[in-house]
Amino acid sequence: MNWLPLWIACGLITFAIRYSFIGLEGHYRPPNWFIRWLPFVPIAALTALTAPELLLIAGKIDIGMSNPRLYAGLVAIAVATCWRNTLLTIASGFMALATLRWLI
């Protein structure tokens, strides 16, 4: 199979998608409801990525004491809420996870 046409097509599609935002700058104004909801996109994306990792063990929801990732995640969320320090949040989450895995 010749991959070159596929690479070119993918590159053109990616360019068109990204350029559409640049090309429409100043010519298109999104609706107000859309603009109001934009700040919540990063929160929703992060939640969609992390929630399954915190809640699922072997494909099943586990909120019991046998799920150390959930409680380590809750510790990290609490630290992030109180101190708003990324490095401290990551370190506290990892330390809580290591401690909980050692205890369980």
Please tell me the pTM assigned to this model: 0.69
pLDDT band at 29 (very low <50, low <70, confident <90, very high): confident
The pLDDT of residue 24: 82
- Tell me the backbone φ, ψ of residue 28, rounded to 5 degrees: -135, 130
Q: Concatenate the DSSP letters of all residues of 71-103 into one string.
A: HHHHHHHHHHHHH--HHHHHHHHHHHHHHHHHH
Rounded to a whole number, what is the distance in angstroms from the first to the last CA of the chain?
51
For 86-102, what is each residue's pLDDT tens digit?
999 999 999 999 999 99
User: Taking the CA of residue 69 as centre, how many other CA atoms within 13 Å lie in the half-sphere pointing to its CB?
Assistant: 11
**Structural domain count of the chain:** 1
CA distance 12 to 102: 51
Domain that holds residue 80: 4-103
The answer on pLDDT for 79 being more than 90 is yes
